């Protein structure tokens, strides 16, 4: 047999390789193996084997025995020679399984999860990708489904529902344009802290990314306008994702979330049980509770320091935002703090109703179109106590010149700005807080109250005397009508409505669109109860009023719900009047018709020399429009008939929806006003002579 050169070399080296034993040294054997009876028995049963290295091995062992041994093994093998108490492995514990969903489709699981979360009303619009869900809720008598005329309307209805009830509004729409039409309501809800859960249909998972019909990257598109969003990729995870959606929408600062539902997920069946923990509404974990305990300990110092600043302040003011309304006890604690320490209170647009405006300590709304005396108080106060407000630009005016006296007091250790807010990112974002109290405003107010010292009216006499002087100097003034047949002023409509509902403020909810009418409502309606003002604040969404009022009426069917709207804002979502008629949702609508985009024309008049670029539109006959949607309607053109027509709307129009058009004067400004770039105290107020001169100049320039 012939052998290759490589093979011959391998044969020659074989004897040398045998000199190296593969038997491990005794020190290298694990102590568990050394003392294992089974291992020793196995070794005794093995026959002895001899090889050419045995003699060398015995010689090496003899040499090792003759040399001194280390008392402690080397660090590389530093092991205890005794058998350790090894804990046995715990048997794997199977999680408790929920069999209740087995055999259900994703749509049927959706229906069941809505019931588990106590959902009573759903707003939405069907489409191909979401049909399995709609089929599952077909003829369901467990909750009411409100079908709007547009998905944006569904979103705003859900917002109004949430604002009036404190519960998350639920929206169900289809894929593509159905989902994208909810983007504006979600952004609106995000900015105003409104809890909302949106379920959007999606194409089947196998078609995602193929530009299928009505496909859109809904998760990507909605990421910036939601607190959280997710696509459900398997029917087994649907209950868990729905639980997460409701938990996130309502925890912390509330907001919108979106759950994207591919059609094969909602149409597919669940064939196996799933863990019980994923199907039950979530509760705070032990880690969450421990974190809360730690947070409370850290809060104690902030609470005590804040209380000390309040107790030593001479001219404090409370600035209350929507955060006060997050819990029913919030307004009660606000009133208690104001009473105990004798502190005046001003509110933001979204905080209206959090403090009774008939209270002598009420300063009403502050900011760009707030009361002049509230703005003056903010500028002169040595301590500002911000409760659930975020110091947005409409509140502060020019930030560099905001609250000069409070900043001075902070530098001297006798005042400053104390900021209570649930969102850490809002603290020190716009103004530097002297003391920050993070967490739920209501809970932290409860912790604060025991540390607050009582004050009497006499203790604050000089401060309230100054405020009274500002109130007398800067009242809510506006141009009045020229007799009973003169053109109606929009402020008069709001004042009259407020007076006519004075005996039922607790049972009245006002929703508004966005524009001048929104500010007039905020200024001239007297707000006395929480959750009575529903409006778009941060985003300023025109068209918000009517659908939000519908949602509020669905949430509070026994209350009087009125939408105060402007003609331009109303036209953006006027089709939802048909929704109110179809479902007999008894909203009452007031449209202040001045045939212009009033807030924009005000700025064009004041800062652009009356160049009214595209801010006047030709309106339809609103009465005929309402009647075409089966809604009874009236029109008011004179002051003499205003009260009678308002009385018809409130009391005489029945339980269903009703519509009142009030033709009001044009080119009426919203005053007071802090112009852009001005400090909070640099406001414009109504002056009769100046206003007449301005109106005359406008007519000369524009012919209007």
Task: Kindly list the catalytic residues.
Answer: 151, 213-214, 263, 599
CB 568 within 8 A of CB 509: no
Q: How far out from the chain centre does Cα 359 lie? A: 30
Task: Note whether 430 and 397 are within 8 A (CB).
Answer: no
402: left (phi over 0), alpha (psi -120 to 50) or beta: beta
Query: 505 φ, ψ to 5°?
Result: -60, -35
Residue 104 has a CB neighbour count (10 Å cut-off) of 18
**What does the angle CA 446 – CA 452 – CA 457 come to, to the nearest 5 degrees?**
120
Which residues does residue 124 pair with via DSSP β-bridges, in sequence order? 172
| Helix or strand (DSSP H, E) at 542 | none
What is the C-alpha separation between 575 and 580, in angstroms, rounded? Answer: 9
Count H helices, E strands: the chain? 28, 20
Dihedrals phi, psi of 306, to nearest 5 degrees: -65, -45
> What is the distance of C-alpha 79 from the center of its chain?
58
Q: What is the three-class DSSP state of 419?
A: strand
Phi, psi dihedral angles at 389 (to 5 degrees):
-120, 155
Residue 646 contacts residue 592 (beta carbons within 8 Å): no
Distance CA 128, CA 328 (A): 41
Task: Write phi, then psi, for 349 (nearest 5 degrees).
Answer: -55, -45
Q: What Å distances lie between residue 529 and 49, 221, 322, 331, 479, CA to CA? A: 97, 37, 13, 9, 29
Nearest to 347 by CA among 535, 588, 169, 509: 535
Q: Which pair of tokens denotes residue 57?
A: 């091995």
The DSSP secondary-structure symbol of 324 reads: G
* Residues 6+ away with beta carbon under 8 Å from 418: 306, 309, 310, 383, 384, 385, 386, 433, 434, 435, 436, 437
Q: What are phi and psi of 134, to 5 degrees?
A: -65, -35
Q: Give the containing element (helix H, strand E) for 651.
A: none
End-to-end CA distance of the chain: 118
């Amino acid at each position: 047999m012939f052998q290759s050169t490589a093979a011959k070399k391998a044969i020659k080296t074989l004897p040398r390789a045998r000199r190296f034993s593969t038997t491990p040294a005794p020190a290298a054997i694990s102590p568990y193996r050394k003392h294992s009876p089974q291992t020793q028995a196995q070794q005794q049963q093995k026959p002895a084997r001899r090889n050419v290295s045995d003699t060398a091995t015995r010689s090496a062992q003899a040499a090792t025995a003759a040399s001194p041994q280390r008392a402690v093994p080397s660090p590389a093998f530093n092991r205890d020679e005794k058998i350790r108490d090894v804990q046995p492995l715990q048997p794997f514990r199977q999680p408790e399984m929920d069999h209740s969903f087995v055999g259900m489709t994703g749509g049927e699981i959706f229906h069941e999860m809505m019931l588990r979360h106590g959902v009573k009303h759903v707003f939405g619009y069907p489409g191909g990708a979401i049909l399995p869900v709609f089929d599952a809720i077909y003829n369901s008598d467990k909750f009411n489904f409100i079908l709007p005329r547009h998905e944006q309307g569904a979103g705003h209805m859900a917002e109004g529902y949430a604002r009036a009830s404190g519960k998350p509004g639920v929206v169900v729409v289809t894929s593509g344009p159905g989902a994208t039409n909810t983007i504006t309501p979600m952004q609106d809800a995000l900015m105003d802290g409104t809890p909302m859960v949106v379920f959007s249909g999606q194409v089947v998972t196998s078609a995602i990314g193929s530009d299928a019909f009505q496909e859109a990257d809904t998760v990507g598109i909605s990421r910036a306008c939601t607190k959280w969003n997710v696509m459900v990729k398997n029917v087994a995870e649907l209950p868990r994702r729905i639980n997460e959606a409701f938990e996130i929408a309502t925890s912390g600062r509330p907001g919108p979330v979106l759950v994207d539902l591919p059609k094969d997920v909602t149409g597919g069946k669940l064939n196996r049980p799933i863990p019980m923990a994923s199907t039950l509404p979530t509760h705070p974990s032990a880690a969450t509770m421990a974190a809360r305990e730690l947070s409370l300990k850290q809060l104690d110092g902030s609470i005590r320091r804040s209380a000390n600043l309040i107790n030593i302040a001479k001219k404090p003011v409370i600035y209350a935002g929507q955060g006060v309304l997050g819990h029913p006890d919030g307004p009660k604690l606000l009133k208690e703090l104001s009473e105990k320490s004798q502190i005046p209170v001003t509110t933001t647009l979204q905080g209206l109703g959090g403090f009774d405006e008939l209270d002598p300590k009420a300063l009403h709304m502050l900011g760009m179109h707030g009361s002049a005396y509230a703005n003056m108080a903010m500028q002169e106060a040595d301590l500002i106590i911000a409760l659930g407000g975020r110091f947005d630009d409409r509140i502060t005016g020019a930030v560099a010149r905001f609250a000069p006296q409070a900043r001075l007091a902070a530098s001297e250790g006798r005042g400053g700005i104390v900021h209570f807010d649930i969102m850490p990112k809002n603290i020190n974002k716009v103004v530097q807080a002297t003391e920050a109290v993070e967490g739920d405003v209501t809970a932290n107010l409860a912790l604060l109250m025991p540390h607050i010292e009582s004050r009497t009216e006499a203790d604050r006499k000089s401060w309230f005397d100054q405020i009274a002087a500002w109130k007398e100097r800067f009242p809510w003034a506006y141009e009045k009508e020229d007799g009973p047949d003169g053109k109606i002023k929009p402020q008069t409509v709001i004042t009259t409505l407020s007076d006519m509902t004075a005996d039922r403020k607790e049972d009245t909810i006002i929703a508004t669109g966005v524009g001048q009418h929104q500010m007039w409502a905020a200024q001239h309606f007297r707000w006395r109860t929480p959750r009575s003002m529903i409006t778009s604040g941060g985003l300023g969404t025109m068209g918000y009023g009517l659908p939000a009022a519908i949602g509020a009426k669905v949430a509070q069917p026994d209350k009087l719900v009125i939408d105060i709207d402007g003609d331009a804002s109303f036209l953006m979502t006027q089709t939802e009047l048909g929704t109110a008629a179809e479902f007999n949702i008894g909203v009452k609508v007031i449209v202040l018709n001045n045939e212009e985009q009033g807030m924009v024309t005000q700025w064009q008049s004041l800062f652009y020399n009356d160049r009214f670029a595209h801010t006047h539109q030709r309106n339809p006959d609103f009465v005929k429009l309402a009647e075409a949607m089966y809604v009874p309607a009236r029109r008011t053109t004179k002051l003499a008939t205003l009260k009678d027509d308002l009385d018809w709307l409130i009391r005489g129009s029945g339980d269903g929806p009703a519509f009142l058009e009030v033709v009001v004067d044009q080119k009426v400004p919203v005053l007071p006003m802090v112009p852009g770039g001005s400090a909070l105290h640099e406001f414009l107020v109504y002056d009769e002579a100046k206003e007449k001169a301005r109106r005359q100049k406008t007519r000369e320039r524009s012919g209007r």
